[in-house]
Amino acid sequence: MTPSVLPDVMCIGQARLTAGLDRFERIDLATHREVFGTMPRLDIGRLVDIAERVDLRGRGGAAFPMGRKLKAVVQSARQRKRKPVVLVNASEGEPGSAKDMVLLLRSPFLVLSGALVAARALQATEIVVGVARSDVAQSVSAAAAEEPTLRQMLRIVQVPDRFVSGEGGALINAVNGKAALPPGRKTLASDTGVDDRPTLLSNAETFAQLAVLAMLGPEGYASTGTADEPGTVLLTVGGSADRPAVLEVPSGLPLGEVLDLCSAAHADGVLVGGYHGMWLSTEAAYGVPVSRAGLTAAGGVLGAGIVLPLDEATCALGEVARVASYLAQESSGQCGPCKLGLPGIARSLAALADGSGGIDALDTARRGAAAVRGRGACAHPDGAFRFVMSALDVFTDDLTSHMFRGTCGRPTRGILPMPGKEGQTRLTVDWTRCRGHGLCAHLVPEMIQLDGQGYPVFLDMPVPPWLQSQAQHAVQMCPSLALKIAAQAPAQATGKRGKDAVKPVSVRPAVTRGPAARGPVTAGPVTAGPAARGPTARGPVPRPELPGPEPVRAATVRPAGKRGSNLRMVASEQKPSEFELDVSEEWIADLSDVGRQIPRPIN
């Protein structure tokens, strides 16, 4: 979650999740009831039935059926005779995503109402909300203070703002006081989740959709969207779009209409699904429908609803290389594909982007991506595979320019969003001391390789948390005392609007309501016409200056524990690769030698 300002909120067709945001900066409890009405109480049988009738899926990326999740939690709770827990994943670790942030800062009761509907149906005694940002935690806490039931049931846990913290197993670990990292083995939250209890885990938008479904019923919910995927979808559009926004659209709408509404210039390619998603060519992107089936058929993935067009003003290959380095840095470092595979892929792409790599670098990147697929301790390497391989397929003209002319002639402008984090460190070298002993490359091969003359070449990324001790050891062992660890200057978040700074948000329990307040949301046909495609909310909206709420005993924010010493190296089950290239087991190890295959000049 990178945006430092609240993006525009727009809607095409009927506003559901975004209802009321055209008139209110933040919807408090009284306003929520005026806009959405009273939330019905449903037993578990009815809740499962309506979720299955509309095939409600998770909106965090995996698209798992909500009905199956509910039934699995019920079955596990009955077998183990333990009360279940409802866990809302609002960590939103994807840098390009802002939809959950917008919901919880501006309409928190919609998300919490969906969680409460599920908790009552499951007879759960606790609702846990996992967040990464303090302003989001404060908004949720303020909302809980207004509603007596939530005040007693709600617990907020703040997790590190990292890419992998949003993985379901990592969030459960954080809530349980462990390091916010994937567990390295397949576990089901419905069996053993929070405090080892059966847990209903889904992301913030999914619970908001569940609330809308409970209010409208299956027929009303299905009055918009497609027959196979009824309802609306929340998208976060950024990248090179001149008007980045969070949009609510009916499923099945052509993606081109979304890009036009956000003033996205002619793009080299469009990334759909975030940094674990896939690139589409401009031609394919403009005609593809916004739905799981439509994007999959076009070679993409809906994922968490992230849409990032990339225009011709920036070097596409340089942008891809930046993200590949970020994915390598943000890994858990628990398996070979993350420790060696992802840094090797990032190194190859960096060589292609700066012109020092040729056909060999491209071949290494392709084979490296294929080698990590299906072999990781979690899904992170698989997501990196999709991102890298689809980029190499879409940006073929850029690849040709870089391989044969060394450059495409365009700078890398940092259009793809990247979080700016404090406290990071980098490995540096004093070239007046370095004698090219090469020991550092053997101690930290993930970050340091040797060029053709035996001198170190550094991967352009901060030292990951899981490499800190090895990096310190390499500094201590350097025979020439040339290697150092330097604190990185505080970086600004990159992206189209990453440099817009605002004051920290504080939340007040009430927002003055105007006379235009509407009644409850009701089902109805989607309006077709120019007015329906215009924005229904003003923006960008400054974060409301609101005094903090009174302390709430049951809704306090508890930082996640940091017990890094509990980490273990866990090998995943080997799965045969479906990639067409001949991938042998040696490829992951060979990635650590990429620097020797692709010499680069020392500046």
**Segment 22-73, tens digit of pLDDT:** 999 999 999 999 999 999 999 999 999 999 999 999 998 888 999 999 999 9
In this structure, is residue 364 part of a structural domain?
A: yes
Domain's final residue, options 469, 490, 511: 490
Q: Give the C-alpha separation, 577 to 584, whole Å.
A: 10
Average pLDDT of span 133-150: 95
Distances (CA, A) of 449 to 441, 453, 591: 5, 11, 10
The verdict on residue 429 lying in a domain is: yes
| Weakest mean pLDDT among 140-154, 210-224, 450-464, 556-570 | 556-570
**Average pLDDT estimate for 422-450:** 90
Q: Cα–Cα distance between 508 and 545 in angstroms, integer? A: 8
Question: What would the pLDDT profile of 428-438 be if each residue is shown by its tens digit?
Answer: 999 999 999 99
Q: Considering its fold, how many domains does the chain have in total?
A: 3
pLDDT tens digit string along 70-126? 999 999 999 999 999 999 999 998 999 999 999 999 999 999 999 999 999 999 999
Least confident of 233-237, 274-278, 498-502: 498-502
Is 343 within the bounds of a domain? yes
Residues 368 and 344 in one domain: yes
* 117 and 55 in a common domain: yes
The answer on 115 and 167 residing in a single domain is: yes
The confidence score (pLDDT) of residue 491 equals: 55
Cis-peptide into 479, omega within 30 deg: no
Same-domain pairing of 164 and 27:
yes
pLDDT score at 504? 37
- Residue 340's pLDDT band (cuts 50, 70, 90): confident
Q: Note whether residue 141 is domain-resident.
A: yes
Rounded to the nearest 10 degrees, the angle between the axes of helix 108-122 and helix 29-36 is 80
Question: Strand ranges (DSSP E) for 251-293?
Answer: 267-272, 278-281
Asked if 150 and 201 sit in the same domain, the reply is yes
Domain range for 376 is 316-412+573-597
222-231, 266-275, 494-503, 533-542, range with the lowest pLDDT: 533-542
Q: What is the pLDDT of residue 106?
A: 97
Residues 14 and 129 in one domain: yes
Say if residue 58 is in the same domain as residue 96: yes
| Structure confidence at residue 424 as a pLDDT band (50, 70, 90) | confident
> Which of 549 and 283 is assigned the larger pLDDT?
283
CATH number for position 459: 3.30.70.20
**pLDDT cut 90: percent of the chain above it:** 62
Q: Which residue has the higher pLDDT, 587 or 430?
A: 430
Pairing mode, if any, of strands 245-250 and 267-272?
Answer: unpaired
- 3, pLDDT greater than 90: no
Query: Does residue 475 share a domain with residue 347?
Result: no
* Least confident among 76-90, 329-343, 489-503, 540-554: 540-554
- Please give the C-alpha separations between residue 109 and each of 132, 204, 238, in angstroms, as whole numbers: 18, 11, 26
Domain match, 333 and 451 both:
no
- State residue 533's pLDDT score: 35
**Least confident piece of the model among 80-89, 502-511, 584-593:** 502-511
pLDDT higher than 70, residue 528 = no
Q: Are residues 25 and 92 in the same domain?
A: yes
Please check whether residue 50 lies inside any domain of the structure. yes
Q: Mean pLDDT across the stretch 509-535?
A: 35
Q: How much is the average pLDDT of 457-482?
A: 91
Neighbours of 541 (CB within 10 A): 19
Give the CATH number for residue 383: 1.20.1440.230
Q: DSSP label at 225?
A: B
Q: For 251-276, how does the pLDDT look when each residue is reduced to its tens digit (9 = 90+)?
A: 999 999 999 999 997 778 999 999 99
Say if 294 falls within a structural domain. Answer: no
Q: Is the same domain home to 400 and 375?
A: yes
CA distance 367 to 341: 10
CATH code of the domain in which 73 resides: 3.40.50.11540
- pLDDT of 368-386, one tens digit each? 999 998 888 888 999 999 9
Q: What value does the mean pLDDT of the chain take?
A: 82
Same domain, 210 and 76: yes
311 domain residue, yes or no: no
Q: Report if residue 458 sits inside a domain.
A: yes
